[in-house]
């Protein structure tokens, strides 16, 4: 799993930062991917990466403010020009379907692939063998969601050395043992999977929050996450202004990571009032609350490692 930040500015773009969008590679290095939010210009940012729209499987919209979805209609239309663009699923708050349908109706747009739009409520919205996705409502000026992506447990490592000593050659039997099946050799000897496969390990957890004030649901979604992505629109000491606009300070983001016992925090969605030197100082302040804090910037790539090792 790997995250690529396509836009990291709040409200409006700057010369250095576009508005919000995050790509999550879930099936190998920059092959198939998911997109979280699609601010204006997202498809232009994608042109500078290895990501191709025909490999985009799902889009998750956190909320309906323009800096998080004004790039969606254009991106959807452009996807029709990519060979092999299969079905696409979009998840978002109530109103996302009407927004898309209105844009297409008034522009006479037509898609050459199947589009499924799901207006979500709190709870588990995806439950598949590889990944589960849970959502919860956050505390913003409008309905805003956070997403918790949980990778299924990973089977243990196969002890190939022991198998070689037992006379088991690489091949189909390796796969069966890896999948938990016991096998019988031509000699009649039975090999038990538990004897040659290490213990199962928990899958990785990524939490991506929409715009929010500090709230219990943010902490819950971020619980023991290997990577937490949290907005940091304002600096520490600006809590009153952050609360007025439904946002968080970078210190509050760090407190969320600490409360949730997350492994790594990446902060994003910075107010345009902050230059790059300002952001560096903000991260220094936040690191006193949560040491493993990193400031996102456009095109930053972050590998999601279990336990951040």
Amino acid 28: pLDDT: 58
Reported as a single tens digit per residue, the pLDDT across 166-183 is 888 888 888 888 888 898
pLDDT at 15 over 60: yes
Catalytic positions, written as ranges = 67
Taking CA 68 as the corner, what is the angle to CA 74 and CA 240, rounded to the nearest 5 degrees? 160
Reduced to 3 states (helix: H, G, I; strand: E, B; else coil), residue 259 is: helix
Reported as a single tens digit per residue, the pLDDT across 32-58 is 999 999 999 999 999 999 999 999 999
Copy the structure tokens of residue 277: 């030197």
Same domain, 192 and 247: no
Q: What is the DSSP letter of 53?
A: G
Boundary (domain end) residue, out of 196, 218, 248: 196
Domain count, the chain: 2
Mean pLDDT of 59-71: 98
Strands, DSSP E only, in 93-204? Answer: 115-119, 123-127, 131-137, 145-151, 183-184, 190-191
Same domain, 178 and 255: no
Same domain, 79 and 132: yes
Amino acid 187: pLDDT: 85
**List of residues 6+ apart from 273 with CB closer than 8 A:** none
Same domain, 255 and 174: no
pLDDT at 309 over 80: no
Q: What is the DSSP letter of 188?
A: S
Same domain, 170 and 255: no
Reported as a single tens digit per residue, the pLDDT across 73-126 is 999 999 999 999 999 999 999 999 999 999 999 999 999 999 999 999 999 999
Contacts 24+ apart (CB under 8 A), 119-124: 119/92, 119/93, 119/94, 119/95, 120/91, 120/92, 120/93, 120/145
Q: Decide: 4 and 23 in contact? Cβ < 8 Å.
A: yes
Same domain, 106 and 21: yes
Mean pLDDT of 281-309: 91
- Cite the annotated binding site by residue number: 63, 65, 67-68, 140, 211, 269
**Cα 224 from Cα 204, distance rounded (Å):** 10
The residue range of the domain holding 68 is 2-154+201-304
Of 18-22, 157-161, 263-267, the least confident = 157-161
> What's the mean per-residue pLDDT of the chain?
94
**Cα 82 from Cα 74, distance rounded (Å):** 14
Same domain, 36 and 101: yes
- Cite the annotated binding site for Zn(2+) by residue number: 63, 65, 67-68, 140, 211, 269
Boundary (domain end) residue, out of 138, 171, 196: 196
pTM above 0.85, yes or no: yes
The number of residues in the chain equals 309
Q: Decide: 32 and 53 in contact? Cβ < 8 Å.
A: no
């Amino acid at each position: 799993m790997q995250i690529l930040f396509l836009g990291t500015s709040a409200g409006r773009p700057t010369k250095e930062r576009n508005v919000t969008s995050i790509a999550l590679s879930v099936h190998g290095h920059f092959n198939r991917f998911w997109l979280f939010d699609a601010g204006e210009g997202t498809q232009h940012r994608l042109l500078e990466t290895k990501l191709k729209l025909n490999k985009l499987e799902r889009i998750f919209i956190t909320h309906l403010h323009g800096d998080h979805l004004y790039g969606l209609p254009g991106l959807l239309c452009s996807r029709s020009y990519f060979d092999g663009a299969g079905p696409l699923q979009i998840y978002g708050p109530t109103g996302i379907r009407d927004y898309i349908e209105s844009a297409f109706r008034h522009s006479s747009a037509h898609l050459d692939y199947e589009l499924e739009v799901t207006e979500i409520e709190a709870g588990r919205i995806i439950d598949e063998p590889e990944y589960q996705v849970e959502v919860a409502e956050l505390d913003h000026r409008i309905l805003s969601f956070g997403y918790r992506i949980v990778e299924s447990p990973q089977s243990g490592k196969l002890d190939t050395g022991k198998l070689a000593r037992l006379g088991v050659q690489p091949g189909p039997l390796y796969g069966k043992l890896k999948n938990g099946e016991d096998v019988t050799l031509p000699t009649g000897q039975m090999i038990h999977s538990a004897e040659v496969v290490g213990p199962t390990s928990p899958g990785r957890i990524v939490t991506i929050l929409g715009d929010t004030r500090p709230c219990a649901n943010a902490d819950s979604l971020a619980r023991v996450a290997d990577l937490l992505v949290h907005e940091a629109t304002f600096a520490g000491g600006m809590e009153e202004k952050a609360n007025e606009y439904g946002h968080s300070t970078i210190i509050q983001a760090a407190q969320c990571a600490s409360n949730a016992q997350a492994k790594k925090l990446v902060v994003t969605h910075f107010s345009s009032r902050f230059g790059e030197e300002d952001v560096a100082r903000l991260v220094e302040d936040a690191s006193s609350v949560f040491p493993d804090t990193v400031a996102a910037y456009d095109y930053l790539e972050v590998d999601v490692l279990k336990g951040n090792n």
